[in-house]
Amino acid sequence: MSQPNTLAPYEQLKSSIYANVGYALLDNLKLNLGGQWHRFDHLKAAPSGVADSDSAIDGLVGRAGLVYEMTANWGAKLLFAQAYRAPSAGELGANSAVVLGNRGVEPEKVETADAQVFYHDADYQVSVTAFESRVTNLIVRSPIPNTVPTQLLYVNGGSATFEGLELETEAKLLPGLSWKGSYTFQTNRDENKHNNKTLLPNHMAKLGLSYDFGTSLQLSVFDTYFSAAKAAPTALLVNPPAGGYHNVSVNANYKLNNWLGVAKNKHMTFTLYLDNLLDENFYYPEFNRKNINTVPASPGRMLFGEIALEF
């Protein structure tokens, strides 16, 4: 049985112009300024029963940054950036028994401030970043009163503020052996000062080792860790909770050139990728309708292979 279309054929034009300029205020102090003008038209040929509109939404977002080199190895950055997310076609024009689009939805807006201190040399890199990001005009689904079953309408509602710290490291430990790692802590609150309303984990870490066995074979192992996520307070407890988990992956690349006797300037690479090495069962919060607590997020251990040819 075919499913009915929830979005009629449509046309939409999106345009933007971006400019950026950099200037050295001092020998060791650089200023960067940029901006983007954007415009998008509402949907043309709207779904039946929804009036067409020729109106458009436009605006200007900007960015500014200062980079200060304290020494040849140490430096600091201050960054401020604005961005936006235009509503999707579904958010503007969906027409189903469950959710309806809203032609009056405006773009989500984001403002982010970063402060970073970093160190780098030939073998080591490390940086610490503090950030704050505020999202306004959030596009959310709001219940329509007196509809049975309850229908949802896309509207602009509320805001969210994210704050956190991020540590990133990279090092050459031995000849052929390198390390990459990062750790992020984030917390968030809504416009009513309620914490962790997005259900996202507060901690995430990535650790990896990579080793080059000569010029033909490279082997990498990465562990990505997410702490426990939250569940919507009204969700039914149907599945296991979204607890913390490790996703360990292994990636191997082997150049077949020497083995096959083909030209060395045209690589032939065989890749094996093993995902979820520990075969963990993990779950994500069901943040779409929030009717149940979690949904399965992994099919288990997976192995992928690929052969890439250069012409």
- Shortest CA distance to 104 belongs to which of 39, 169, 163, 153? 153
In a domain, 9, yes or no: no
- Strand runs (DSSP E) across the chain, as ranges? 14-26, 29-41, 56-69, 74-85, 99-100, 108-120, 124-136, 139-143, 152-156, 160-174, 177-190, 203-213, 217-226, 245-255, 268-275, 283-285, 294-296, 302-309
**How high is the pLDDT of residue 9?**
76
**How high is the pLDDT of residue 174?**
92
**How high is the pLDDT of residue 49?**
44
| Spatial CB neighbours of 14, under 8 Å, sequence gap ≥ 6 | 38, 39, 40, 41, 86
In a domain, 191, yes or no: yes
Burial 278-292 (b: 16+ CB within 10 A, else e): eeeebbbbbbeebee
Tokens found for residue 258: 């020497």
In a domain, 34, yes or no: no
Phi, psi at residue 92, to the nearest 5°? -90, -35
Peptide linkage before 149 cis (omega within 30 of 0): yes
In a domain, 41, yes or no: no
In a domain, 44, yes or no: no
The helix/strand/coil state of 230 is coil
Tell me the torsion sign for CA atoms 282, 287, 288, 289.
positive
| CATH assignment of the domain containing 230 | 2.40.170.20
- Residue 201 CB-density burial (10 A; 0-12 exposed, 13-18 middle, 19+ buried): buried
**How high is the pLDDT of residue 47?**
47
Consecutive 10-residue averages of pLDDT for the chain (311 residues): 61 88 96 94 56 70 96 97 90 85 89 97 96 94 85 90 97 95 95 85 96 91 94 87 94 83 72 94 83 87 90 74
In a domain, 219, yes or no: yes
Q: What pTM was computed for the model?
A: 0.82
**How many Å is the Cα radius of gyration of the chain?**
25
Tokens found for residue 188: 């968030």
Parent domain of 123: 63-85+98-309
Alpha-carbon torsion angle 50, 56, 57, 61, nearest 10? 150
Per the structure, the count of domains in the chain is 1
Residue located via tokens 């401020």: 80
In a domain, 12, yes or no: no
In a domain, 57, yes or no: no
**How high is the pLDDT of residue 61?**
94
Tokens found for residue 187: 């917390």
The helix/strand/coil state of 245 is strand
**How high is the pLDDT of residue 57?**
82
- Residue 250 CB-density burial (10 A; 0-12 exposed, 13-18 middle, 19+ buried): middle
